[in-house]
Structure 1
Amino acid sequence: MSGLRIALIASARFPITEPFAGGLEAHTWGLAHALHHRGHHVALFAAPGSDPALGARELPVRTAVLSAEARSDGSMPGRTWMQEHHAYLGLMLDLARDGEHRFDIVHNNSLHYLPVAMASALRVPVVTTLHTPPTPWLESAIQTHDACPVTFTAVSEFTASAWKATVPAARVVRNGIDTGFWKPGPGGDGLVWSGRLVPEKGPHLAIEAARRAGVPLKLAGPVADRAYYEERIEPLLGEGARYVGHLDRRGLAELLGAAGAALVTPCWDEPYGLVVAEALACGTPVCGFDRGALAEILTPDCGLLAPAGDVEALARLIPRTMGLDRRAARRRAERFCSLDRTADAYTALYQEVMR
């Protein structure tokens, strides 16, 4: 079976385009490209401003004309929530009308609950990827069905385990990166941290660890929480720590490849950690906190992990990490983190579900 017609549902909050707002957007972009290159017909339903090369269709957001009484109601949610709800509701109603004539499979790669809650209204199979720890909205959507018709995957064994009470049989399909694009770099004598600058990613702890180790650090990524950045990151910059901005893939690959090691400092249970895969593909060993799925990706020859939140232990591991073999890091990325593996696994799953 080839040439599947795939409806790929993405984020309605951030466009699927460079520079990416986060790992979810980067993963969706890569998966859409990989499936297209395999001869499938991918219709990406995504936020306005998404990469036109993907053939993205904007989620059908209609601005609700709300009365003054509705706007003043105490139960009125925020504007962003209403826009997302309206977008996914419109999309699912559209797919329920005649989606089976246009698509062979619907892959929900968003974090929203409506594609799951309304899956039984569709006459086409639905696959949903679990990208985060359990959320109340999504757990509620799953439980609205006596037997949920959705096939679930999880981005790591850790994430599958976290969802086990609600989704006992989620198949693990790990996110992947294009190892043909993310190529080995020469390394260097400094450190790099990349990702969204938000409290749960812990960039302030990366700065503290690098400073204790006496190694310069460059940080890259979108400032997704302005107050956090101004209060916790800006005061720590200088003295070897520098923020280099929100880079596109090419700029980020050059930065990662020129570092001696990458710091990954999650303050939450990281469901996967695309930044780990990107660093390894560039030949850069990883030094991080042992939280979430990081231990699934890393092996002792390409990365070292400190106890969660232990900045002093992380600092002590930095020199050892910088001495690890860069070729081992690259091999790990090729064998475990490649986008080809991800796309092949999803293609096989689509065909299985359709049968």
Structure 2
Amino acid sequence: MMPASEQNRPLHIAMIAPPWLDVPPRGYGGIEEVVAGLVNGLAERGHEVTLIGAGHTTLPARFLCTYPNPPSGRIGDPLPDLLHAARALRMLADLDADIVHDHSLAGPLTARGRGVPTVVTCHAASHGELGACYRELGEDISLVAISNAQRERAPDLNWVATVHNALDVDSFPFREDKEDWVLWLGRFNPCKGPHLAIDAARAAGHHIVLAGKLSEPPEHACFEEYVRPKLGSDATYVGEADAELKRELLAAARCLVFPIQWEEPFGMVMIEAMACGTPVVAFGRGAVPEIVVDGRTGFVVRTAAELPAAIEAAGRLDPAACRERVERHFSLGAMTAAYEEVYRRVLATPGEHVLD
């Protein structure tokens, strides 16, 4: 057990980001946004952070670069991720870190035999092959879930805590007066339901704006099959939104429509919308019921037939309640404090550090 004198000392955390984007990202990049917020939060709490990632960063951390230019165009190719993990492993050998916090896919494979603990945040579906991989790693890694729903999908994994994702609330503009159109924002994939969002907005009599990531072949295939045939004067695509445009859209929209077709582990766009005072209309799958308060910060529905009425009713919700929900439960301060508790418990009681 860690001596009492050591329990509150500043820590040196080696933070491993995925290799695909800058941290923070210039556009789409939910994991990278979370990593950036966590690095900032830990630095503010007096900890030393060494960030291992690709591209460039403006964060208050020592930065070790695995790729001068992030291989964004190769997302889905396993080799860049493996090379990133190999380079990170070499860099870690020269660090005197107290703990490693890995957000990458292949990186956890290098945890065995490491002299310090490895905390891994599971940012994707916890079942299927990823869950099987984590199951093989066993107690070599201490897993953190980003929602209780994610954790419940694979309860036998070595979970040590659930820590909801968070954001810098002050960086999102609060707007009380909303325009009359609705927003869909994300990456183009049938599981994100962009086609259902268009149908629902049209049935509700509201214009819909779609702002989505459209770079990988599966995203183009989804767009051409499910989205382009439905576009028209009342359904427009404005491209992939960078950080500035994303905030403008989220603040102005009547509501965000989030008709997911899978058990979403979290869904950053929901808390981004609510931070702007914009309610969320979503299917109650995955983490949605943990994030959206039905009837207060949005509406949680079961079927597509319920979406139009929920879109209409969203205009009567209080934007301030949406903002308050994020400030109270999804702030960087709350997330950073929770991760600091994870680090200290893992360091203090190896093998006996399961948290509620």
Distance apart, 1:79 and its partner CA: 8.8
Distance 2:10 2:277 in 1: 35
Structure 1 residues 56-80: Cα deviation after superposition (integer angstroms, max 9, x where no partner): 422269xxxxxxxxxxxxxxxx992
Distance 1:317 1:44 in 2: 42
Distance apart, 1:301 and its partner CA: 0.9
Change (3 A) 1:24 1:107: same
Asked if residue 289 in structure 1 is aligned to residue 283 in structure 2, the reply is: yes
Distance apart, 1:15 and its partner CA: 3.1
Given that 1:284 and 1:329 are in contact with CA atoms closer than 8 Å, whether structure 2 keeps it comes out as yes
The corresponding residue for 1:64 is none
Asked if residue 121 in structure 1 is aligned to residue 113 in structure 2, the reply is: yes
Distance apart, 1:250 and its partner CA: 2.7
Asked if residue 38 in structure 1 is aligned to residue 45 in structure 2, the reply is: yes
TM-score, with length taken from structure 2: 0.85
Distance apart, 1:138 and its partner CA: 3.7
Change (3 A) 1:210 1:268: same
Distance 1:257 1:245 in 2: 17
Given that 2:121 and 2:146 are in contact with CA atoms closer than 8 Å, whether structure 1 keeps it comes out as yes
Given that 1:192 and 1:219 are in contact with CA atoms closer than 8 Å, whether structure 2 keeps it comes out as yes
Given that 2:279 and 2:298 are in contact with CA atoms closer than 8 Å, whether structure 1 keeps it comes out as yes
Asked if residue 323 in structure 1 is aligned to residue 316 in structure 2, the reply is: yes
Asked if residue 341 in structure 1 is aligned to residue 348 in structure 2, the reply is: no
The corresponding residue for 2:346 is 353
Given that 2:264 and 2:285 are in contact with CA atoms closer than 8 Å, whether structure 1 keeps it comes out as yes
Distance apart, 1:205 and its partner CA: 1.2
SS of residue paired to 2:156: coil
Asked if residue 51 in structure 1 is aligned to residue 57 in structure 2, the reply is: yes
Change (3 A) 1:143 1:189: closer
Choose which of 181, 184, 204 in structure 2 pairs with 1:190. 181
Distance apart, 1:122 and its partner CA: 0.9
Asked if residue 85 in structure 1 is aligned to residue 82 in structure 2, the reply is: yes
Given that 1:20 and 1:26 are in contact with CA atoms closer than 8 Å, whether structure 2 keeps it comes out as no
Distance apart, 1:197 and its partner CA: 2.0
Asked if residue 7 in structure 1 is aligned to residue 2 in structure 2, the reply is: no
Distance 2:94 2:326 in 1: 41
Distance 2:76 2:290 in 1: 38
Segment drifting more, 279-288 vs 217-226: 217-226
Choose which of 82, 107, 125 in structure 1 pairs with 2:101. 107
Structure 1 residues 322-352: Cα deviation after superposition (integer angstroms, max 9, x where no partner): 2111111111111111121001111122122
Distance apart, 1:41 and its partner CA: 2.0
Choose which of 169, 177, 180 in structure 1 pairs with 2:170. 180
CA RMSD of aligned residues (A): 2.2
**Matched length:** 329
The corresponding residue for 1:71 is none
Asked if residue 149 in structure 1 is aligned to residue 140 in structure 2, the reply is: yes
SS of residue paired to 1:120: coil
Structure 1 residues 231-285: Cα deviation after superposition (integer angstroms, max 9, x where no partner): 3222222221122222222321221111111111211111011111011111111
TM-score, with length taken from structure 1: 0.85
Distance 1:86 1:192 in 2: 38
Given that 2:160 and 2:342 are in contact with CA atoms closer than 8 Å, whether structure 1 keeps it comes out as no
Given that 1:279 and 1:285 are in contact with CA atoms closer than 8 Å, whether structure 2 keeps it comes out as yes
Asked if residue 234 in structure 1 is aligned to residue 241 in structure 2, the reply is: no
Gaps (5+ residues) in structure 2?
A: 1-7, 69-74, 349-356
Change (3 A) 1:137 1:311: closer
Choose which of 267, 270, 284 in structure 2 pairs with 1:273. 267
Structure 1 residues 125-170: Cα deviation after superposition (integer angstroms, max 9, x where no partner): 111111222255543443445x513221100110111121233x44
Read off the aligned partner of 1:152 and give its amino acid letter.
L
Distance 2:185 2:326 in 1: 17
Distance 2:90 2:272 in 1: 37
Distance 1:220 1:39 in 2: 38
Asked if residue 207 in structure 1 is aligned to residue 222 in structure 2, the reply is: no
Note the 1:15-26 alignment, pairs <5 A. 15-26=22-33
Change (3 A) 1:89 1:35: same
Read off the aligned partner of 1:296 and give its amino acid letter.
E
Asked if residue 301 in structure 1 is aligned to residue 296 in structure 2, the reply is: yes
Gaps (5+ residues) in structure 1?
A: 62-77
SS of residue paired to 1:335: helix
